[in-house]
Structure 1
Amino acid sequence: MTMEESGSIKQRNLNAGAGTATLTKESKTAVDTNGKIFKVPDYTIKDILSSIPKHCYDRNLLWSLHYVFRDIFAIAVIGYVGTNYIPQWFPNSVAFRAIAYGLQSYLIGLFGFGLWILAHECGHSAFSSSNAVNDTVGWVLHSWWMVPYFSWKFSHSKHHKATGHMTRDMVFVPYSQEEYVEAMGKSKLSEILEESPIMTTFNLIAQQLGGLQLYLATNATGQPYPGVSKFFKSHYWPKSPVFDTKDFWYILLSDLGIIATLTVNYLWCKAYGAHVVLINWFLPWLWVNHWLVFVTFLQHTDPTMPHYDASEWTFAKGAAATIDRNFGFVGQHIFHDIIETHVLHHYCSRIPFYHAREATEAIKKVMGEHYRYDGENMWISLWKVARSCQFVEGENGVKMFRNVNNIGPQPSAAA
């Protein structure tokens, strides 16, 4: 017997005892991009939180800090070995040195994103029970990778409070059909031809390399804020509508962190040369940019993923509009399970990542069919998502992804 059937029987029994014949209202449904029936979740946030073992909420500062030192140590060793020994290993081959330096930057970028995830834990108070420790560690780590700490913390908190909400979510808010048509410079959907694979590839490369900086600088993929120019929607601007008035000085402190990082890198460059900074910070920074967009995009965009109008959205429904994926050894041991336990993270972001797998197993029993997981290679998923998830539509408050590439059910205007 399924949870849904059990709940229905229980409700019928209660109704019968009360002298009524009323049955429970069935969940709303929609057709997803794969052509399958999607059922709107019917459990409550209380059901979810009460299922999580209490010890999963425990935060251990020393254990959290050991991951910070581990990742910094890994970056330092990789940087020292690569910078000092690659020229000795390949003294006569520019090509092999370039490949080796590329590998060095890639590995630093992996652990660099791991550090960014730990900073992200700080922003959710999952790193320590002390707000001062969280904000100090988070500010340093975020700033090193050129992401303004408090700015991100505040907008990201709003994202968590309104995940999947079409008019309140803060990042990767999908186009409506009308917005997509307008963005393509057309008057109606039927005028838009199928997007070529070459164009999809170009868009993905641009998204992965520049998406984060575009989001921070102009709030791209966030809420539109009509009448406000792109610059004044920036995460660097203290009076941006993204933030509340009380956040003003924190945004300036975030900007100070960015300035400090640029200053350190300038002095580093003067002391040791541009080549050292290029290999040990700039190229890894590009990788961190890529991983952040790659992971975040695939956590919140999928052919099975719903979005909701204000009339239908609840916190429990919105938090379920996320998906866990699998990135193997790197995901678990370097990216600190941010990919594999993201559904849980949206239900309770204060749970530290080292308890997240246990807590995930607990909430899966409540979520049942509404828990979303895809173990497919994430690079393949990235391509599929880019081709199939271009805008959303739906008439009952539940909106599902559609596309102009003849993948899945056809958009209503093209039917």
Structure 2
Amino acid sequence: MACRLADSSFLFTGPHQRPIRSHRFPPHNSTGIYCLKWGSLLQRGNKHQQCLISLKRAKIVRAVAIPVAPSPAESADYRKQLSESYGFKQIGEPLPENITLKDIVDTLPKKVFEIDDVKAWKSVLISVTSYALGLFMISKAPWYLLPLAWAWTGTAVTGFFVIGHDCAHKSFSRNKLVEDIVGTLAFLPLIYPYEPWRFKHDRHHAKTNMLAEDTAWHPVWKEEFDSSPVLRKAIVYGYGPFRTWMSIGHWLMWHFDLKKFRPNEVKRVKISLACVFAFMAIGWPLIIYKTGIMGWIKFWLMPWLGYHFWMSTFTMVHHTAPHIPFKSSDEWNAAQAQLNGTVHCDYPNWIEILCHDINVHIPHHISPRIPSYNLRAAHQSLQENWGTYLNEASWNWRLMKTIMTICHVYDKEENYIAFDKLAPEVSQPITFLREVMPDYA
């Protein structure tokens, strides 16, 4: 039985809502009978007489705790309503404060942490084969089928990223040198420096959805949004119609500046950068020599843009929704951020196969040491033990529309404020998205 005082002012109009703030008292196991001696309130000025209250003057008030209906934020019906509005299958109920990340990890089967070399190298074979098939399709496809070939090849090369991702988390092989070599090679076709990405990504896992410290994407700061008209316009386009390629900007800003890394990281960062620049210096001229500039666009640039579409989409779907808060470091809770703040999203089977189940993301945030081929078993365990707390979706237009038209500027009370609420005069791209994007889930 819980007693609750709730500040429940909210407005629900479709996908826009003001989250409920509730202050909860812990459950009480007694019968809920409390004695209040009003006479003691009159003795406030005399410390020595506070407990010497005459029984004749004492009045006993029996207060029986009556169950209070849960606030809308914790109501199953309300969460179902939000799920439908946002394009989710389920919005999880809030995880109790006393649950730790270790409590959740301890419920996972030990076998999901085991590295299987056969399965690991099978994933490499799948990616190499599907990427080669994609390049063959590009070489043979007529112009009107090229978009399909690029979509396949861009998705296939995303699998290379997932393999490097496992290597960075030390979940690909028991041999750490093999992991570093495979991770570096897997990232080369993407022009991604392996070590800089690994260092930044480790911080993302340690500080998931922490407002200033998370090295993945943040909500836009209002101060940043108001800083200059030119920057404001760029932000509106970047977090609006071009959001599915925003990872290109993140790639440029975060991975090539040595000043962003600790002194003990710089040496390894330089090695990764040298590998990337060598690939560009040798690979690009070779592609152009064999196929011309148009061949470079067809065989490398367009699949690379396809990869960034998935990189951006996976990242924003994993941690971005109107009900998922970013919190300051003093309010942040690891278990809540990793379990409640991460989204599982189902994609078409061919995407999940080529991308090695990177979309099964909640168990990956509970423990990054789980290999990609064990994520489904780990997720099944989480569903059995923590299912009511999980955020789950199937990739759909309404989900993407919610993220791209609502999740913009940080607000402590509402989590996000849409650009067109703050600055309608420069938010035509957002208005355009609202009008043209389908709304079916």
Report the TM-score when normalising by structure 1.
Answer: 0.74
Picking from 166, 187, 190, the partner of 1:121 is: 166
Give the alignment of 1:220-239 within 5 angstroms.
235-238=255-258
How many Å separate the matches in 1 of 2:243 and 2:381? Answer: 35
Q: Partner of 1:291 in structure 2?
A: 310
Cα distance per residue 1:138-166 (max 9 Å; x no partner): 10111221111100000000010000111
Give the alignment of 1:53-202 within 5 angstroms.
53-83=109-139, 85-86=140-141, 97-182=142-227
2:126·2:354 contact (CA, 8 Å) conserved in 1?
Answer: no
Picking from 91, 96, 102, the partner of 1:46 is: 102
Whether 2:242 is the aligned partner of 1:206: answer: yes
Cα distance per residue 1:2-23 (max 9 Å; x no partner): xxxxxx77x848xxxxxxxxx9
Cα distance per residue 1:312-363 (max 9 Å; x no partner): 1122122131111111213421121111x11111110110111111111222
3-state DSSP of counterpart to 2:415 = strand
How many Å separate the matches in 1 of 2:267 and 2:156? Answer: 30
**Deviation of residue 403 (structure 1)?**
2.4
1:388·1:402 contact (CA, 8 Å) conserved in 2?
Answer: yes
1:299·1:342 contact (CA, 8 Å) conserved in 2?
Answer: yes
How many Å separate the matches in 2 of 1:261 and 1:44? Answer: 44
Distance change (3 Å), C-alpha of 1:130 and 1:202: closer
2:130·2:354 contact (CA, 8 Å) conserved in 1?
Answer: no
Distance change (3 Å), C-alpha of 1:139 and 1:401: same
**Deviation of residue 39 (structure 1)?**
3.2
3-state DSSP of counterpart to 1:306 = coil
Report the RMSD for the aligned CA atoms in angstroms: 3.4
How many Å separate the matches in 2 of 1:39 and 1:144? Answer: 41
**Deviation of residue 402 (structure 1)?**
2.8
Distance change (3 Å), C-alpha of 1:201 and 1:244: closer
How many Å separate the matches in 2 of 1:254 and 1:98? Answer: 36
2:138·2:298 contact (CA, 8 Å) conserved in 1?
Answer: no
Determine which structure has more spread, i.e. the larger CA radius of gyration.
2
Aligned partner letter, 2:325: P
Q: Partner of 2:273 in structure 1?
A: 255
Give the alignment of 1:334-373 within 5 angstroms.
334-339=354-359, 341-373=360-392
1:47·1:366 contact (CA, 8 Å) conserved in 2?
Answer: no
How many Å separate the matches in 2 of 1:81 and 1:176? Answer: 43
Cα distance per residue 1:282-328 (max 9 Å; x no partner): 21011111110111111111112111112211221221311111112
How many Å separate the matches in 2 of 1:29 and 1:250? Answer: 50
Counting matched residue pairs gives 346
Give the alignment of 1:263-342 within 5 angstroms.
263-320=282-339, 321-339=341-359, 341-342=360-361
Report the TM-score when normalising by structure 2.
Answer: 0.70
1:165·1:313 contact (CA, 8 Å) conserved in 2?
Answer: yes
Q: Partner of 2:52 in structure 1?
A: none
